[in-house]
A and B are shown apart, each in its own frame.
Chain A
Protein backbone atom coordinates (compact mmCIF):
# COMPACT_ATOMS: atom_id res chain seq x y z
CA UNK A 1 0.00 0.00 0.00
CA UNK A 2 0.95 3.60 -0.47
CA UNK A 3 1.67 5.81 2.52
CA UNK A 4 1.02 9.53 2.38
CA UNK A 5 3.01 11.76 4.74
CA UNK A 6 2.17 15.46 5.02
CA UNK A 7 5.12 17.56 6.24
CA UNK A 8 5.27 21.20 7.33
CA UNK A 9 8.08 23.71 7.16
CA UNK A 10 8.28 25.52 10.50
CA UNK A 11 10.60 27.70 12.53
CA UNK A 12 13.37 25.41 13.81
CA UNK A 13 12.57 24.22 17.31
CA UNK A 14 15.91 25.49 18.61
CA UNK A 15 15.17 29.08 17.60
CA UNK A 16 13.52 31.36 20.13
CA UNK A 17 10.49 32.88 18.41
CA UNK A 18 10.46 36.68 18.37
CA UNK A 19 7.16 38.48 18.26
CA UNK A 20 7.16 41.32 15.73
CA UNK A 21 6.98 44.78 17.24
CA UNK A 22 3.82 45.62 15.28
CA UNK A 23 2.02 42.62 16.75
CA UNK A 24 1.22 41.04 13.39
CA UNK A 25 2.99 37.76 14.07
CA UNK A 26 6.26 36.04 14.76
CA UNK A 27 9.31 37.26 12.85
CA UNK A 28 10.28 34.58 10.32
CA UNK A 29 12.70 36.69 8.27
CA UNK A 30 16.22 35.26 8.18
CA UNK A 31 15.61 32.59 10.78
CA UNK A 32 16.36 28.90 10.48
CA UNK A 33 13.40 26.85 9.29
CA UNK A 34 13.18 23.07 9.29
CA UNK A 35 10.79 20.16 9.14
CA UNK A 36 8.29 20.05 11.99
CA UNK A 37 9.78 17.52 14.47
CA UNK A 38 6.59 15.44 14.67
CA UNK A 39 6.57 15.20 10.85
CA UNK A 40 10.12 13.83 10.88
CA UNK A 41 8.77 11.06 13.10
CA UNK A 42 5.94 10.50 10.60
CA UNK A 43 8.38 10.22 7.67
CA UNK A 44 10.55 7.84 9.69
CA UNK A 45 7.56 5.62 10.50
CA UNK A 46 6.57 5.46 6.84
CA UNK A 47 10.11 4.47 5.87
CA UNK A 48 10.14 1.73 8.52
CA UNK A 49 6.85 0.40 7.15
CA UNK A 50 8.48 0.28 3.71
CA UNK A 51 11.52 -1.50 5.10
CA UNK A 52 9.18 -4.10 6.63
CA UNK A 53 7.55 -4.62 3.25
CA UNK A 54 4.23 -3.12 4.39
CA UNK A 55 4.44 0.13 2.43
CA UNK A 56 5.19 0.09 -1.28
CA UNK A 57 5.55 3.79 -1.96
CA UNK A 58 5.91 6.87 0.25
CA UNK A 59 4.53 10.15 -1.00
CA UNK A 60 5.32 13.29 0.95
CA UNK A 61 3.22 16.40 0.55
CA UNK A 62 3.62 19.93 1.82
CA UNK A 63 1.42 22.99 1.56
CA UNK A 64 3.03 26.39 1.72
CA UNK A 65 5.50 28.69 0.07
CA UNK A 66 8.03 27.62 -2.57
CA UNK A 67 10.68 27.19 0.09
CA UNK A 68 8.75 24.22 1.46
CA UNK A 69 10.53 22.35 -1.37
CA UNK A 70 13.52 22.13 0.97
CA UNK A 71 11.40 20.33 3.55
CA UNK A 72 10.16 17.91 0.90
CA UNK A 73 13.74 17.28 -0.29
CA UNK A 74 14.69 16.46 3.31
CA UNK A 75 11.89 13.89 3.45
CA UNK A 76 13.00 12.47 0.08
CA UNK A 77 16.57 12.25 1.39
CA UNK A 78 15.33 10.32 4.42
CA UNK A 79 13.72 7.77 2.10
CA UNK A 80 10.40 9.03 0.70
CA UNK A 81 9.82 8.20 -2.98
CA UNK A 82 8.19 11.30 -4.39
CA UNK A 83 6.83 14.65 -3.33
CA UNK A 84 3.94 16.99 -3.99
CA UNK A 85 4.14 20.69 -3.17
CA UNK A 86 0.87 22.61 -3.07
CA UNK A 87 2.03 26.19 -3.37
CA UNK A 88 0.27 28.84 -1.34
CA UNK A 89 2.00 32.01 -0.26
CA UNK A 90 -0.92 32.77 2.05
CA UNK A 91 -1.55 31.15 5.40
CA UNK A 92 -3.56 27.93 5.12
CA UNK A 93 -5.39 26.77 8.24
CA UNK A 94 -5.69 23.12 9.32
CA UNK A 95 -9.21 22.92 7.84
CA UNK A 96 -7.90 24.07 4.44
CA UNK A 97 -4.89 21.76 4.71
CA UNK A 98 -7.17 18.84 5.60
CA UNK A 99 -9.39 19.58 2.58
CA UNK A 100 -6.38 19.65 0.25
CA UNK A 101 -4.96 16.48 1.77
CA UNK A 102 -8.34 14.78 1.36
CA UNK A 103 -8.16 15.54 -2.39
CA UNK A 104 -4.60 14.21 -2.59
CA UNK A 105 -5.70 11.09 -0.71
CA UNK A 106 -8.60 10.56 -3.14
CA UNK A 107 -6.13 10.77 -6.03
CA UNK A 108 -3.37 8.65 -4.53
CA UNK A 109 -5.49 6.14 -2.58
CA UNK A 110 -3.01 5.57 0.26
CA UNK A 111 -3.58 2.86 2.86
CA UNK A 112 -2.29 5.11 5.59
CA UNK A 113 -1.82 8.83 6.02
CA UNK A 114 0.76 9.49 8.74
CA UNK A 115 0.91 13.06 10.10
CA UNK A 116 2.66 14.68 13.01
CA UNK A 117 0.35 15.18 16.00
CA UNK A 118 0.88 18.93 15.84
CA UNK A 119 3.03 21.59 14.22
CA UNK A 120 5.24 23.45 16.66
CA UNK A 121 4.34 26.85 15.20
CA UNK A 122 0.54 27.06 15.39
CA UNK A 123 0.26 24.22 17.95
CA UNK A 124 -3.22 23.39 16.66
CA UNK A 125 -3.22 19.59 16.78
CA UNK A 126 -6.15 19.40 14.33
CA UNK A 127 -5.12 18.46 10.80
CA UNK A 128 -5.01 14.66 11.18
CA UNK A 129 -8.34 14.48 12.97
CA UNK A 130 -9.95 16.83 10.42
CA UNK A 131 -8.62 14.70 7.56
CA UNK A 132 -10.07 11.61 9.25
CA UNK A 133 -13.45 13.34 9.39
CA UNK A 134 -13.39 14.50 5.76
CA UNK A 135 -12.37 11.09 4.41
CA UNK A 136 -14.58 9.15 6.83
CA UNK A 137 -11.58 7.10 7.97
CA UNK A 138 -10.58 5.97 11.44
CA UNK A 139 -7.93 7.94 13.30
CA UNK A 140 -5.13 6.76 15.56
CA UNK A 141 -3.90 9.97 17.12
CA UNK A 142 -0.80 10.51 19.31
CA UNK A 143 0.65 7.15 18.23
CA UNK A 144 3.53 5.57 20.07
CA UNK A 145 3.28 2.25 18.20
CA UNK A 146 1.84 1.32 14.81
CA UNK A 147 1.33 -2.26 13.65
CA UNK A 148 -0.25 -3.10 10.31
CA UNK A 149 -1.73 -6.54 9.85
CA UNK A 150 -3.80 -7.35 6.78
CA UNK A 151 -6.52 -4.77 6.30
CA UNK A 152 -6.30 -3.23 9.74
CA UNK A 153 -3.80 -1.29 11.82
CA UNK A 154 -3.31 -1.38 15.57
CA UNK A 155 -2.27 1.95 17.01
CA UNK A 156 -1.09 2.40 20.57
CA UNK A 157 -1.95 5.93 21.64
CA UNK A 158 -0.46 8.16 24.30
CA UNK A 159 -3.43 9.32 26.33
CA UNK A 160 -3.68 11.20 29.62
CA UNK A 161 -2.97 8.59 32.22
CA UNK A 162 -1.24 6.01 30.07
CA UNK A 163 -1.58 4.17 26.79
CA UNK A 164 -4.59 3.03 24.81
CA UNK A 165 -4.68 0.68 21.84
CA UNK A 166 -7.23 0.94 19.07
CA UNK A 167 -7.71 -1.14 15.93
CA UNK A 168 -8.63 0.74 12.79
CA UNK A 169 -9.82 -0.40 9.38
CA UNK A 170 -7.42 0.50 6.59
CA UNK A 171 -7.37 3.10 5.07
CA UNK A 172 -6.72 5.08 8.24
CA UNK A 173 -5.12 8.20 9.67
CA UNK A 174 -2.23 8.04 12.14
CA UNK A 175 -0.72 11.02 13.95
CA UNK A 176 2.67 10.63 15.60
CA UNK A 177 3.75 11.31 19.13
CA UNK A 178 7.32 11.81 20.30
CA UNK A 179 7.78 8.25 21.48
CA UNK A 180 6.95 6.53 18.18
CA UNK A 181 10.52 6.42 16.86
CA UNK A 182 13.86 8.15 16.53
CA UNK A 183 14.04 9.75 13.06
CA UNK A 184 17.13 9.00 10.99
CA UNK A 185 19.50 11.55 9.54
CA UNK A 186 19.75 11.81 5.79
CA UNK A 187 23.17 10.73 4.54
CA UNK A 188 25.06 12.86 2.04
CA UNK A 189 24.63 10.36 -0.84
CA UNK A 190 20.90 10.21 -0.09
CA UNK A 191 20.68 14.01 -0.04
CA UNK A 192 22.28 14.01 -3.51
CA UNK A 193 19.92 11.27 -4.72
CA UNK A 194 16.90 13.14 -3.37
CA UNK A 195 17.58 15.98 -5.81
CA UNK A 196 16.55 13.79 -8.71
CA UNK A 197 13.42 12.32 -7.12
CA UNK A 198 10.13 13.62 -8.56
CA UNK A 199 8.53 16.70 -7.00
CA UNK A 200 5.20 17.79 -8.48
CA UNK A 201 3.95 21.34 -8.03
CA UNK A 202 0.28 22.14 -7.59
CA UNK A 203 -1.93 24.92 -6.29
CA UNK A 204 -5.05 24.82 -4.10
CA UNK A 205 -7.03 25.82 -7.22
CA UNK A 206 -5.87 22.63 -9.00
CA UNK A 207 -7.81 20.72 -6.37
CA UNK A 208 -10.75 23.13 -6.39
CA UNK A 209 -10.34 23.84 -2.70
CA UNK A 210 -11.15 27.17 -1.10
CA UNK A 211 -8.53 27.77 1.57
CA UNK A 212 -9.74 31.19 2.75
CA UNK A 213 -8.93 31.42 6.48
CA UNK A 214 -11.86 31.30 8.89
CA UNK A 215 -9.90 32.78 11.76
CA UNK A 216 -8.57 36.31 11.78
CA UNK A 217 -5.47 37.00 13.79
CA UNK A 218 -6.15 40.29 15.53
CA UNK A 219 -2.73 40.46 17.12
CA UNK A 220 0.17 38.41 18.35
CA UNK A 221 1.79 39.42 21.60
CA UNK A 222 4.57 38.31 23.89
CA UNK A 223 3.26 36.25 26.78
CA UNK A 224 3.05 38.04 30.10
CA UNK A 225 6.46 38.13 31.72
CA UNK A 226 6.66 36.23 34.96
CA UNK A 227 7.29 38.44 37.93
CA UNK A 228 10.72 38.03 39.42
CA UNK A 229 10.78 35.44 42.16
CA UNK A 230 12.74 35.19 45.34
CA UNK A 231 15.65 33.02 46.29
CA UNK A 232 15.36 31.16 49.54
CA UNK A 233 18.36 30.76 51.80
CA UNK A 234 18.05 27.11 52.69
CA UNK A 235 15.92 23.99 52.64
CA UNK A 236 14.07 24.96 55.82
CA UNK A 237 12.84 28.17 54.24
CA UNK A 238 11.78 26.28 51.12
CA UNK A 239 9.86 23.75 53.23
CA UNK A 240 8.15 26.61 55.04
CA UNK A 241 7.11 28.25 51.76
CA UNK A 242 5.87 24.95 50.33
CA UNK A 243 3.76 24.42 53.43
CA UNK A 244 2.41 27.96 53.22
CA UNK A 245 1.39 27.26 49.60
CA UNK A 246 -0.35 24.08 50.67
CA UNK A 247 1.87 21.91 48.47
CA UNK A 248 3.30 20.11 51.48
CA UNK A 249 1.60 19.23 54.71
Chain B
Protein backbone atom coordinates (compact mmCIF):
# COMPACT_ATOMS: atom_id res chain seq x y z
CA UNK B 1 0.00 0.00 0.00
CA UNK B 2 1.24 3.52 -0.73
CA UNK B 3 0.16 6.34 1.53
CA UNK B 4 0.02 10.07 0.87
CA UNK B 5 0.65 12.12 4.01
CA UNK B 6 -0.40 15.75 4.40
CA UNK B 7 2.53 17.81 5.68
CA UNK B 8 1.72 20.66 8.00
CA UNK B 9 4.37 23.35 7.64
CA UNK B 10 5.24 27.03 7.80
CA UNK B 11 7.00 26.99 4.40
CA UNK B 12 10.44 26.62 6.02
CA UNK B 13 9.98 23.72 8.42
CA UNK B 14 7.64 20.84 9.13
CA UNK B 15 5.33 21.07 12.13
CA UNK B 16 5.44 18.39 14.83
CA UNK B 17 1.94 17.05 14.16
CA UNK B 18 3.14 15.72 10.80
CA UNK B 19 5.74 13.50 12.44
CA UNK B 20 3.14 11.42 14.26
CA UNK B 21 1.13 11.17 11.03
CA UNK B 22 4.23 9.79 9.25
CA UNK B 23 4.60 7.10 11.93
CA UNK B 24 0.92 6.16 11.62
CA UNK B 25 1.11 6.12 7.81
CA UNK B 26 4.18 3.87 8.02
CA UNK B 27 1.95 1.23 9.63
CA UNK B 28 -0.10 1.17 6.43
CA UNK B 29 2.65 1.16 3.84
CA UNK B 30 5.11 3.21 1.84
CA UNK B 31 4.97 6.89 2.87
CA UNK B 32 4.96 9.76 0.39
CA UNK B 33 4.72 13.27 1.85
CA UNK B 34 2.74 16.05 0.19
CA UNK B 35 3.90 19.60 0.79
CA UNK B 36 1.39 22.07 -0.61
CA UNK B 37 2.00 25.75 -0.23
CA UNK B 38 3.48 28.89 -1.69
CA UNK B 39 7.26 29.18 -1.45
CA UNK B 40 7.44 25.91 0.44
CA UNK B 41 10.71 24.49 -0.94
CA UNK B 42 12.24 24.71 2.55
CA UNK B 43 9.42 22.64 4.03
CA UNK B 44 9.77 20.09 1.23
CA UNK B 45 13.51 19.77 1.93
CA UNK B 46 12.75 19.31 5.64
CA UNK B 47 10.09 16.70 4.86
CA UNK B 48 12.60 14.79 2.71
CA UNK B 49 14.78 14.28 5.79
CA UNK B 50 12.03 12.74 7.93
CA UNK B 51 12.82 9.10 8.64
CA UNK B 52 10.38 6.84 6.85
CA UNK B 53 9.43 9.21 4.03
CA UNK B 54 10.27 7.68 0.66
CA UNK B 55 9.31 10.60 -1.58
CA UNK B 56 8.15 14.19 -1.24
CA UNK B 57 5.67 15.81 -3.58
CA UNK B 58 5.85 19.60 -3.69
CA UNK B 59 2.85 21.53 -4.99
CA UNK B 60 3.97 25.15 -5.02
CA UNK B 61 1.26 27.57 -6.10
CA UNK B 62 -0.32 30.76 -4.76
CA UNK B 63 -3.62 28.84 -4.59
CA UNK B 64 -2.19 26.54 -1.90
CA UNK B 65 -0.60 29.30 0.17
CA UNK B 66 -3.13 29.20 2.99
CA UNK B 67 -4.18 25.56 2.65
CA UNK B 68 -7.74 26.46 1.66
CA UNK B 69 -9.65 23.18 1.55
CA UNK B 70 -11.52 24.18 -1.61
CA UNK B 71 -8.21 24.41 -3.52
CA UNK B 72 -6.15 21.75 -1.80
CA UNK B 73 -8.73 18.93 -1.76
CA UNK B 74 -8.98 18.65 -5.59
CA UNK B 75 -5.16 18.53 -5.78
CA UNK B 76 -5.08 15.64 -3.31
CA UNK B 77 -7.96 13.83 -5.01
CA UNK B 78 -6.11 14.09 -8.30
CA UNK B 79 -2.95 12.61 -6.76
CA UNK B 80 -4.92 9.89 -4.99
CA UNK B 81 -5.28 7.87 -8.19
CA UNK B 82 -1.77 6.61 -7.37
CA UNK B 83 -2.27 6.04 -3.62
CA UNK B 84 -4.29 3.74 -1.40
CA UNK B 85 -4.61 5.99 1.61
CA UNK B 86 -4.51 9.65 2.59
CA UNK B 87 -3.34 10.47 6.09
CA UNK B 88 -3.45 13.89 7.75
CA UNK B 89 -2.70 14.96 11.30
CA UNK B 90 -5.89 15.79 13.22
CA UNK B 91 -5.02 19.48 13.42
CA UNK B 92 -7.52 22.14 12.41
CA UNK B 93 -5.96 22.11 8.93
CA UNK B 94 -6.14 18.33 8.65
CA UNK B 95 -9.71 18.24 9.94
CA UNK B 96 -10.71 20.93 7.48
CA UNK B 97 -9.22 19.24 4.42
CA UNK B 98 -9.46 15.47 4.91
CA UNK B 99 -13.28 15.09 4.96
CA UNK B 100 -13.49 17.15 1.77
CA UNK B 101 -11.02 14.75 0.18
CA UNK B 102 -12.95 11.74 1.49
CA UNK B 103 -16.28 12.91 0.09
CA UNK B 104 -14.72 13.67 -3.31
CA UNK B 105 -13.32 10.12 -3.31
CA UNK B 106 -16.70 8.81 -2.08
CA UNK B 107 -15.20 7.17 1.00
CA UNK B 108 -15.83 7.46 4.73
CA UNK B 109 -13.10 9.08 6.76
CA UNK B 110 -11.66 7.63 9.96
CA UNK B 111 -11.22 10.58 12.33
CA UNK B 112 -8.67 10.96 15.15
CA UNK B 113 -7.24 7.47 14.74
CA UNK B 114 -5.50 6.20 17.88
CA UNK B 115 -4.05 2.92 16.62
CA UNK B 116 -3.70 0.83 13.50
CA UNK B 117 -3.57 -2.98 13.73
CA UNK B 118 -3.81 -4.69 10.36
CA UNK B 119 -7.11 -3.57 8.88
CA UNK B 120 -8.51 -2.47 12.24
CA UNK B 121 -8.44 1.11 13.46
CA UNK B 122 -9.33 2.45 16.87
CA UNK B 123 -10.77 5.89 17.45
CA UNK B 124 -12.31 7.72 20.39
CA UNK B 125 -16.05 8.37 20.48
CA UNK B 126 -18.18 10.16 23.08
CA UNK B 127 -15.32 12.52 23.87
CA UNK B 128 -12.99 9.64 24.64
CA UNK B 129 -15.40 7.89 27.00
CA UNK B 130 -15.45 4.93 24.63
CA UNK B 131 -13.01 3.56 22.09
CA UNK B 132 -14.43 2.13 18.88
CA UNK B 133 -12.58 -0.47 16.83
CA UNK B 134 -13.62 -0.17 13.20
CA UNK B 135 -12.84 -1.60 9.81
CA UNK B 136 -13.46 0.12 6.50
CA UNK B 137 -14.92 -1.43 3.36
CA UNK B 138 -13.72 1.48 1.21
CA UNK B 139 -11.01 0.74 -1.34
CA UNK B 140 -9.13 3.92 -0.44
CA UNK B 141 -8.73 5.03 3.16
CA UNK B 142 -8.78 8.58 4.46
CA UNK B 143 -7.55 9.04 8.02
CA UNK B 144 -6.80 11.82 10.45
CA UNK B 145 -4.33 10.93 13.17
CA UNK B 146 -4.40 11.95 16.82
CA UNK B 147 -0.90 13.32 17.32
CA UNK B 148 -0.45 12.15 20.89
CA UNK B 149 -1.31 8.54 20.04
CA UNK B 150 1.73 7.85 17.83
CA UNK B 151 5.44 8.39 18.36
CA UNK B 152 6.97 11.17 16.33
CA UNK B 153 9.10 10.13 13.37
CA UNK B 154 12.70 11.36 13.52
CA UNK B 155 13.29 14.62 11.68
CA UNK B 156 16.67 13.40 10.44
CA UNK B 157 17.77 10.22 8.75
CA UNK B 158 15.58 10.24 5.65
CA UNK B 159 16.85 11.09 2.19
CA UNK B 160 13.78 11.25 0.01
CA UNK B 161 13.70 12.91 -3.36
CA UNK B 162 11.52 15.96 -3.94
CA UNK B 163 9.29 15.87 -6.97
CA UNK B 164 7.21 18.81 -8.17
CA UNK B 165 3.53 18.30 -8.89
CA UNK B 166 0.91 20.71 -10.10
CA UNK B 167 -2.79 20.84 -9.53
CA UNK B 168 -5.77 22.75 -10.77
CA UNK B 169 -4.92 25.89 -8.81
CA UNK B 170 -7.56 28.25 -7.51
CA UNK B 171 -11.16 27.03 -7.61
CA UNK B 172 -12.37 30.55 -6.88
CA UNK B 173 -14.78 29.49 -4.12
CA UNK B 174 -12.94 31.05 -1.23
CA UNK B 175 -10.12 33.34 -0.39
CA UNK B 176 -7.91 34.01 2.58
CA UNK B 177 -8.58 37.38 4.18
CA UNK B 178 -6.30 37.43 7.18
CA UNK B 179 -5.11 35.68 10.29
CA UNK B 180 -4.65 36.67 13.89
CA UNK B 181 -2.14 34.24 15.22
CA UNK B 182 -1.38 33.87 18.92
CA UNK B 183 -1.10 37.32 20.35
CA UNK B 184 0.51 35.89 23.46
CA UNK B 185 3.86 34.23 23.86
CA UNK B 186 2.04 31.17 25.14
CA UNK B 187 1.59 28.11 22.98
CA UNK B 188 -1.80 27.31 21.55
CA UNK B 189 -4.05 25.10 23.69
CA UNK B 190 -4.67 22.16 21.35
CA UNK B 191 -1.04 21.76 20.32
CA UNK B 192 0.70 22.66 23.60
CA UNK B 193 2.99 20.15 25.30
CA UNK B 194 2.11 21.49 28.74
CA UNK B 195 -1.21 22.99 29.83
CA UNK B 196 -2.04 24.72 33.09
CA UNK B 197 -5.77 24.89 33.66
CA UNK B 198 -7.82 26.70 36.28
CA UNK B 199 -11.31 26.12 37.63
CA UNK B 200 -14.02 27.75 39.66
CA UNK B 201 -11.90 27.69 42.83
CA UNK B 202 -9.87 30.61 41.46
CA UNK B 203 -12.87 32.78 42.44
CA UNK B 204 -12.19 35.64 40.03
CA UNK B 205 -10.64 36.62 36.74
CA UNK B 206 -7.97 38.62 38.58
CA UNK B 207 -6.95 35.56 40.56
CA UNK B 208 -6.85 33.54 37.35
CA UNK B 209 -4.40 36.02 35.84
CA UNK B 210 -2.27 36.41 38.97
CA UNK B 211 -2.09 32.72 39.93
CA UNK B 212 -2.49 30.54 36.82
CA UNK B 213 -0.68 32.62 34.22
CA UNK B 214 2.67 33.07 36.02
CA UNK B 215 2.89 29.30 36.53
CA UNK B 216 1.99 28.70 32.89
CA UNK B 217 4.68 31.13 31.78
CA UNK B 218 7.24 29.41 34.01
CA UNK B 219 6.44 26.07 32.38
CA UNK B 220 6.07 27.47 28.86
CA UNK B 221 2.54 26.15 29.03
CA UNK B 222 -0.76 27.03 27.40
CA UNK B 223 -3.59 28.16 29.67
CA UNK B 224 -6.89 26.32 29.86
CA UNK B 225 -9.99 26.48 32.02
CA UNK B 226 -12.95 24.43 33.12
CA UNK B 227 -16.44 25.30 31.97
CA UNK B 228 -17.20 26.62 35.47
CA UNK B 229 -14.40 29.16 35.17
CA UNK B 230 -15.61 30.16 31.71
CA UNK B 231 -19.27 30.41 32.76
CA UNK B 232 -18.24 32.52 35.76
CA UNK B 233 -16.54 34.90 33.32
CA UNK B 234 -12.97 34.47 34.62
CA UNK B 235 -11.68 33.77 31.12
CA UNK B 236 -13.10 33.75 27.57
CA UNK B 237 -14.65 30.50 26.37
CA UNK B 238 -11.88 29.66 23.92
CA UNK B 239 -9.97 28.63 27.05
CA UNK B 240 -12.50 25.91 27.78
CA UNK B 241 -11.20 22.37 27.98
CA UNK B 242 -13.88 19.71 28.01
CA UNK B 243 -16.43 17.81 26.04
CA UNK B 244 -17.92 20.88 24.37
CA UNK B 245 -14.72 22.89 24.56
CA UNK B 246 -11.33 21.82 23.34
CA UNK B 247 -10.16 18.24 23.60
CA UNK B 248 -6.50 18.24 24.52
CA UNK B 249 -3.89 15.57 25.14
CA UNK B 250 -0.67 17.30 26.15
CA UNK B 251 2.34 15.63 27.75
CA UNK B 252 1.49 17.32 31.04
CA UNK B 253 -1.83 18.74 32.20
CA UNK B 254 -1.90 20.68 35.45
CA UNK B 255 -5.45 21.05 36.85
CA UNK B 256 -5.71 23.71 39.50
CA UNK B 257 -8.89 24.18 41.49
CA UNK B 258 -10.75 21.88 39.12
CA UNK B 259 -12.94 19.22 40.75
CA UNK B 260 -12.87 16.94 37.73
CA UNK B 261 -16.46 16.76 36.45
CA UNK B 262 -16.96 14.20 33.68
CA UNK B 263 -17.35 16.87 30.99
CA UNK B 264 -13.99 18.32 31.93
CA UNK B 265 -12.26 14.94 32.16
CA UNK B 266 -13.59 14.17 28.69
CA UNK B 267 -11.45 16.99 27.35
CA UNK B 268 -8.14 16.12 28.99
CA UNK B 269 -7.97 12.56 30.27
CA UNK B 270 -5.78 11.41 27.40
CA UNK B 271 -3.00 13.68 28.64
CA UNK B 272 0.19 11.72 29.27
CA UNK B 273 0.64 13.00 32.82
CA UNK B 274 -2.05 14.70 34.87
CA UNK B 275 -1.16 16.80 37.90
CA UNK B 276 -3.91 18.01 40.23
CA UNK B 277 -3.82 20.68 42.87
CA UNK B 278 -6.99 20.85 44.92
CA UNK B 279 -7.85 21.45 48.55
CA UNK B 280 -10.54 18.76 48.54
CA UNK B 281 -8.76 15.44 48.80
CA UNK B 282 -11.90 13.62 47.66
CA UNK B 283 -12.21 15.61 44.43
CA UNK B 284 -12.74 13.24 41.45
CA UNK B 285 -9.75 14.79 39.68
CA UNK B 286 -7.45 12.84 42.01
CA UNK B 287 -8.80 9.58 40.57
CA UNK B 288 -7.19 10.35 37.23
CA UNK B 289 -4.20 12.38 38.40
CA UNK B 290 -0.74 10.84 38.28
CA UNK B 291 0.50 13.39 40.76
CA UNK B 292 -1.75 15.07 43.29
CA UNK B 293 -1.15 17.80 45.81
CA UNK B 294 -3.82 18.49 48.40
CA UNK B 295 -3.61 22.11 49.42
CA UNK B 296 -4.95 25.63 49.13
CA UNK B 297 -4.17 26.77 45.62
CA UNK B 298 -3.77 30.36 46.75
CA UNK B 299 -0.77 29.30 48.84
CA UNK B 300 0.54 26.33 46.92
CA UNK B 301 0.55 27.64 43.35
CA UNK B 302 2.50 30.87 44.01
CA UNK B 303 4.99 28.81 46.02
CA UNK B 304 5.29 26.33 43.16
CA UNK B 305 5.78 29.15 40.62
CA UNK B 306 8.49 30.65 42.77
CA UNK B 307 10.38 27.40 43.27
CA UNK B 308 10.44 26.43 39.61
Once the chains bind, are A17 and B304 in contact (CB under 8 Å)?
no
Residues of B within 8 A of A21 (CB): none
Given A13-B263, A123-B125: A133 and B73 interface contact (C-beta under 8 Å) = yes
Per-residue CB proximity of A201-220 to B under 8 Å, as 1/0? 00000000000011111111
Measured between beta carbons, the chain B residues less than 8 angstroms from A125 are: 95, 99, 111
Pick the residue among B100, B111, B191, B304 that contacts A235 (CB under 8 A).
B304
In B164-193, the 8 Å CB interface with A consists of 172-183, 188, 190-191
A226 close to B (CB within 8 Å): yes
Taking the nearest CB of chain B, how far is it from the CB of A102, in angstroms?
Answer: 9
Bitwise, A60-95 to B at CB < 8 A (1) or not (0) is 000000000000000000000000000000000111
A134–B263 alpha-carbon span in the complex (Å): 34
A238: min CB distance to chain B, Å: 5
Chain A residues within an 8 Å CB radius of B133: 217-221
Are the CB atoms of B102 and A126 closer together than 8 Å?
A: yes
In the complex, what's the smallest C-beta–C-beta distance from B118 to chain A, in angstroms? 11
Are A229 and B173 touching (Cβ within 8 A)? no
**Known contacts being A138-B173, A214-B137, A220-B125, is A129 close to B69, with CB within 8 Å?**
yes
User: Are A223 and B129 interface neighbours, CB within 8 A?
Assistant: yes
Contact B307 A130 (CB under 8 A): no
A123 to B244, CA, bound (A): 11
Q: What residue in chain B is nearest A95 (Cβ atoms)? A: B108
Total A-B contacts with CB atoms under 8 angstroms apart: 253
The segment out of A43-51, A104-112, A191-199, A241-249 that lies at the interface is A241-249
**Contacts of B226 on A, CB cut-off 8 Å?**
none
A162, B188: Cβ atoms under 8 Å? yes
Interface residues of B in 277-293 (CB under 8 A from A): 281, 286-293
Question: How far apart are the CA atoms of A235 and B266 in the complex, in Å?
Answer: 27
A84 to chain B, nearest CB (A): 21
Q: Given the known inter-chain contacts A168-B173, A232-B291, please indicate yes or no for A162 contacting B108, CB distance below 8 A.
A: no
- A13–B240 Cα distance when bound, in Å, is 15
A122 CB contacts on chain B under 8 angstroms: 125
**Alpha-carbon distance A165/B181, docked complex (angstroms):** 11
Residue A59 lies at the interface, judged by CB distance under 8 Å to chain B? no
Are A218 and B130 neighbours in the complex by a CB distance under 8 Å? no
B269 interface hit (Cβ, 8 Å): yes
Q: Which chain B positions have C-beta within 8 A of A126?
A: 99, 102, 109, 111
Contact B120 A215 (CB under 8 A): no
Chain B neighbourhood of A154, CB < 8 A: 177
Contact flags (1/0) for A20-38 with B, using CB distance below 8 Å? 0000001000000000011
CB of A216 within 8 A of CB of B68, answer: no
A221 contacts B291, C-beta separation under 8 Å: no
CA distance A168 to B175 in the complex (A): 7
Q: Is the beta-carbon distance between A247 and B194 smaller than 8 angstroms?
A: yes
**B131 located at the interface, meaning its Cβ lies under 8 Å from any Cβ of chain A in the complex:** yes
Partner of A238, one of B69, B97, B173, B275: B275
A29 to chain B, nearest CB (A): 15
The answer to whether A95 and B68 touch across the interface, beta carbons within 8 angstroms, is no
B250 shortest CB reach to chain A, Å: 10
Which residues of chain A come closer than 8 Å to B129, judged between CB atoms? 16-17, 19, 26, 223
Residue of A nearest to B183 (CB): A162
Assuming A125-B95, A159-B93, is B134 touching A215 (CB within 8 A)? Answer: yes
Minimum CB–CB distance from A113 to chain B (whole Å) comes to 14
Q: How far is the CB of B136 from chain A (nearest CB, A)?
A: 5
The answer to whether A166 and B263 touch across the interface, beta carbons within 8 angstroms, is no
Instruction: Kindly supply a per-residue 1/0 record for chain B positions 101-116, scoring 1 wherever the CB is within 8 Å of any chain A CB and 0 otherwise.
Output: 1111011111110000
Known: A16-B262, A160-B93. A166 touches B174 (CB 8 A): yes
A–B pairs, 27, beta carbons within 8 Å: A17-B129, A94-B109, A95-B108, A123-B124, A123-B126, A126-B111, A133-B104, A138-B173, A142-B92, A165-B176, A166-B174, A166-B176, A166-B177, A167-B174, A168-B174, A169-B174, A214-B138, A216-B135, A217-B132, A218-B133, A218-B134, A220-B131, A226-B288, A230-B290, A235-B300, A235-B303, A235-B307
Query: Chain B residues in contact with chain A, CB under 8 A?
Result: 66, 68-70, 73, 91-93, 95-104, 106-112, 120, 123-138, 172-183, 188, 190-191, 194, 218-219, 236-238, 240, 243-245, 251-252, 262-263, 269-270, 273-275, 281, 286-295, 300, 303-304, 307-308
19 other A-B residue contacts (CB within 8 Å) besides A130-B100, A215-B136: A26-B130, A94-B109, A95-B103, A95-B107, A139-B70, A139-B96, A142-B92, A160-B93, A160-B191, A162-B188, A164-B176, A165-B178, A166-B177, A217-B132, A218-B133, A221-B130, A229-B292, A235-B304, A249-B308
